[in-house]
Amino acid sequence: MSSDLHLAPAVRRDLDDLVDRFVKQHAGDEGATVSVWCGDISGTPAYTRDELAPHYAASTMKLPLLVAAYRRHERGELDLDAEVPVHNEFSSAEDGSSFALEQSDDQDDETWQLVGSRASLRRLVRHAIVKSGNLATNLVLERVGPGEVANVLVDAGCSGATTLPRGIEDAVAREAGLDNWVTAHDLALVMTGVAERRLAREQTCVDIEQVVAAQEHRDKIPAGLPAGTYVANKTGWVEGVAHDVALVRPGDGPPYVLAVCTTADVPEETANALIAGISRRIWEGREA
């Protein structure tokens, strides 16, 4: 069985038509951008569409943070099993000023219930991915450091368009121009780096993938796949933005990575339906 992902020309045309219809229908005053990268885990693309366009990262920034945390643990610089204080006061990446998060904007009440106590970094990293927890993310970033996240991006081969210099809700940094941006291509590079065991030692990459495979948010790329399909994905969403990057391991073909980023003035459910539709067409259009 070939390790490459092949899509027939008709499938690629169908994908173009699907995206074209969405962009035309939802262009609005600000326009709509849909970016797609799909290919095998070696990084060879089978379908791309505006894959180099920058998008606000939202929670997709948590994927390279996960890799960074596990790499520091691998090197003995960070003990993931060490317990750290759970708090809600952070220093801005711009000027060190203090800021806090709102629990109502988070999806991870379990971490908020631990404020004032302690939790292991391993638990916090898992909650940052599996539940897309914002408080957990900032607590991990505080220990890992944005510099180590930047190193992951460099080692994955990401472009300069992907920058992740700050934590969640660091408004001072954002207003100063320090903002989190990604491209579909670069998100795919991080995921292929994990899938092909290039971004860390093999067991470390296996451990990273297992965390991502436990993802609870399955309404985008996984929603377009048959029930029971193995998929490890990391979503990101805020108003006007919906992204997902996934490693899919079919039982009847080679593994592949799909990254879809959308920036459009539409309800999240509308963007999710597009992402699921792209995922479904790729799944159905795979060639042996």
CATH number at residue 282: 3.30.450
Is 93 a member of any domain? yes
Buried b (16+ CB within 10 A) or exposed e, 35-46: bbbbbbbebebb
Residues 144 and 195 reside in one and the same domain: no
Residues 11 and 68 reside in one and the same domain: no
Q: Which of 180, 178, 215 is nearest to 58 (CA)?
A: 180
Residues 35 and 76 reside in one and the same domain: no
Residues 135 and 176 reside in one and the same domain: yes
Q: Which residue has the tokens 């997902």?
A: 244
- What does the pLDDT average to over 250-277? 96
Residues 271 and 194 reside in one and the same domain: yes
Residues 158 and 66 reside in one and the same domain: yes
Residues 225 and 126 reside in one and the same domain: no
For helices 9-25 and 268-285, the axis angle rounded to 10 degrees is 170
pLDDT of residue 190: 98
pLDDT in tens, 214-230: 999 999 999 999 999 99
Number of domains within the chain? 2
pLDDT in tens, 255-268: 999 999 999 999 99
**Total residue length of the chain:** 288
Burial class (CB in 10 A: 0-12, 13-18, 19+), 147: exposed
Cα separation of 118 and 125, whole Å?
14
Residues 66 and 146 reside in one and the same domain: yes
Residue 32 is part of which domain span? Answer: 1-53+183-200+216-288
